[in-house]
Amino acid sequence: MRKVFVASSFAALKHAEALSELLTREGGVDVLPWKEFFDAGYVNLESLDRAYREVAGALILLTPDHEVMGENGAMRLSRPNVIFEMGLFGARLGWGNVMICTFDEVHLPTDLDGMFYIRLGQYPGHQGDLSVPAKALDNLQRWTTGLLDVPGNIPRTELFHGYSGEWRLEIHFEKWVNHEVRDGEVADVHSGSLHLLIPESGAEGQGWFNGEVEVDISHGTPPKHYGASYRSSDLIYAATCSMDGVLTMKSMSSCRYRLHEEGDRWFEKDISQERPGSRRYDWQLHPVEGKSSKLVGTYLCSSDNRSIGRVTMTRL
């Protein structure tokens, strides 16, 4: 079932509970009241950070909790912590998944001008009985109908490091399967694709790489020609970004599928028959000065150094 976080001040808890019952009964959603979510052992921010991962939407109840003097006289405002929660859930869930309910007496921040919110009429006082107008109820039902279910503990939105996303990948091998690639020979990956998902912290990112390796080389004495192409893919892990923009990561071979082959091999084992994970690679890439969308560096078979390549990654 879809879950909705309900936020309010402590003084307006009675009205928040009434809205929660209404959401469950008329809106067909499960409610996560703020009072039940702030657990012992967690600071409030940690609890809120867990909450947005569990809910499809958030209902923010703004009530006239205290009076302040402004340039144009007295204003009645909601509690700062409720305003903070409104901004947090708006940023995390997207504003279309946040509904603001308020009363005529509440002065709203000017940043909310142009946003849709639900007016509940005159405030009945903290201990009064909440009466929800028919139009407000209809708007609440339409809002809950548009909420999408969220799988357990998978947030609707998340913050990621700027290197996350899709990159075009080129690898020019200086050594391929223990053969030193000479001038005029080819052992390259052209127009490969690399996808990264790196947390905001810049550590322990993951991803995958796939591309086509083209090989056209001569080996041995007298020289024997070998040409081939392989569909290649790696699983990437331990992607880490340093403060100076250096990206290091590791990968393991996932697939080496031979598309075509001609000539004589110098290596005994068919590359396409190697089991997934049998080869491990180290990547180290540096930003290019003046080109924020490009990284250059090395790709090294860490298990036996049998393949070494120069890498260029360009952000798409």
Provide the residue ranges of all domains of the chain, joining segments of one domain with +: 3-145, 165-315
Neighbours of 315 (CB within 10 A): 14
Averaged confidence pLDDT in the chain: 87
Determine the pLDDT at residue 215.
94
Instruction: State residue 111's pLDDT score.
Output: 76
Q: 3-145 belongs to which CATH class? A: alpha beta
Low-confidence residues in the chain, pLDDT < 50? 40-43
Do the domains 165-315 and 3-145 match in fold?
no
pLDDT in tens, 150-177: 666 566 666 778 899 999 999 999 999 9
Q: According to the model, what pLDDT value does residue 44 have?
A: 64
For residue 42, the model assigns a pLDDT of: 45
Spatial separation of the C-alpha atoms in residues 55 and 33, rounded to whole Å:
11
Contact status, residue 295 vs residue 247, Cβ threshold 8 Å: yes
pLDDT score, position 299: 94
**What is the structure's pLDDT at 193?**
95
Contact call for residues 277 and 261 (beta carbons, < 8 A): no
Q: Class assignment of domain 165-315?
A: mainly beta
Query: Which pLDDT score, from 0 to 100, does residue 184 have?
Result: 92
Q: Does 222 sit behind a cis peptide bond, omega within 30 degrees of 0 on the bond before it?
A: yes
Q: Enumerate the β-bridge partners of residue 3.
A: 30
Predicted local distance difference test score (pLDDT) of residue 147: 86
Q: Give residue 1's pLDDT.
A: 60
Q: What pLDDT score does 135 carry?
A: 92
Report the pLDDT value the prediction gives residue 41, as an integer from 0 to 100: 46
